[in-house]
């Protein structure tokens, strides 16, 4: 683990695995309220395919600093840019899951896609988490406010609720307990202020700035970011490819683990 200082002094935890002279690089951005650990079951497949895998904990999550503020998409995108510049990454794939997908989209607009050769959006919270005139499939602001209120009073209960709607398939209790532990490891400030960002932020206009090959990977049973959002992203990102997972929920990366990993590596390697 590396600790890289962002431009406001916050220390961002970074995990850099694989040969440093590798020409194939992928950068992974986790979702809310997870950490880099969510990609545990993608890591072996990516390393086996010959990738250098760089992941990070967003500020306020995992091992990164909890800060008093700064939990907005612009700040997260700037943190990501600092990590990329510090590591000297110039040609890489950028993958974002859920809120991390929205942050990846903001990075593409705010930093003109610096270094990105391909983009992967996995059950992304884009174009917005909540309903807008451009996104009729999002969650309601009122329901999100209720989640914010619950989290401010009983954050583990909020995480348990999200865990209950995260998957469309049955998974073992030990696995679900592990995932709950990852969620609970987030800082209170980071988790709750990021949920406010999810409620308020919109990357619809940013989608049109994307000019790299883009794969959209989305569970058709997603109850957190409904599949209609994937169709909007597909329509707005020129030349994008949509990979639906018919029996998967928000956690398509685990609901359909083998097929997801196969499809992802195939897209990276131009096999599909």
**For residue 209, what is the DSSP state?**
T
- H helices of the chain, in order, are 43-48, 73-87, 99-110, 141-153, 155-166, 173-184, 188-200, 204-207, 227-236, 252-255, 257-268
Catalytic residue, chosen from 30, 36, 234, 250, is 250
Distance CA 155, CA 152 (A): 6
CB count within 10 Å of CB 25 equals 22
Catalytic residue of the set 222, 234, 240, 255: 222
Nearest to 222 by CA among 122, 118, 101: 122
The DSSP element (H or E) to which 214 belongs, if any, is strand 214-219
Altogether, the residues listed in the chain come to a count of 272
Known catalytic residue at 250: yes
Q: Is 257 helix (H, G, I), strand (E, B) or coil?
A: helix
CA 175 to chain centre: 20
Based on the residue annotation, tell me whether 222 is a catalytic residue of this protein: yes
Distance CA 12, CA 122 (A): 22
Q: Which of 55, 64, 98, 187 is catalytic?
A: 98
Q: Which residues are catalytic?
A: 98, 222, 250
């Amino acid at each position: 683990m590396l600790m890289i200082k962002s431009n406001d002094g916050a220390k961002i935890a970074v995990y850099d695995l694989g040969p440093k002279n590798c020409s194939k690089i992928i950068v992974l951005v986790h979702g809310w309220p997870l950490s880099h650990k969510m990609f545990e079951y993608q890591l072996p497949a990516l390393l086996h395919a010959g990738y250098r895998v760089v992941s990070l904990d967003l500020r306020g999550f995992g091992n990164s600093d909890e800060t008093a503020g700064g939990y907005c998409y612009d700040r997260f995108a700037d943190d990501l840019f600092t990590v990329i510049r510090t590591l000297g990454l110039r040609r890489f794939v950028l993958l974002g899951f859920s809120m991390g997908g929205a942050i990846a989209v903001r990075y593409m607009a705010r930093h003109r896609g610096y270094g990105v050769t391909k983009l992967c959006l996995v059950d992304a919270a884009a174009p917005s988490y909540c309903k807008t005139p451009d996104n009729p499939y999002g969650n309601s602001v009122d329901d999100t406010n209720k989640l914010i209120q619950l989290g401010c009073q009983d954050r583990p209960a909020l995480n348990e609720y999200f865990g209950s709607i995260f998957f469309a398939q049955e998974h073992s209790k030990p696995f679900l307990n592990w995932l709950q532990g990852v969620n609970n490891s987030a800082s209170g400030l980071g988790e709750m202020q990021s949920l406010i960002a999810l409620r308020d932020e919109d990357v619809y206009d940013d989608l049109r700035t994307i000019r790299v090959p883009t794969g959209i990977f989305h569970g058709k049973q997603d109850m957190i970011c409904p599949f209609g959002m994937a169709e909007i992203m597909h329509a707005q990102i020129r030349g994008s490819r949509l990979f639906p997972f018919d029996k998967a929920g928000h956690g398509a990366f685990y609901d359909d683990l083998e097929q997801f990993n196969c499809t992802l590596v195939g897209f990276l390697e131009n096999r599909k």
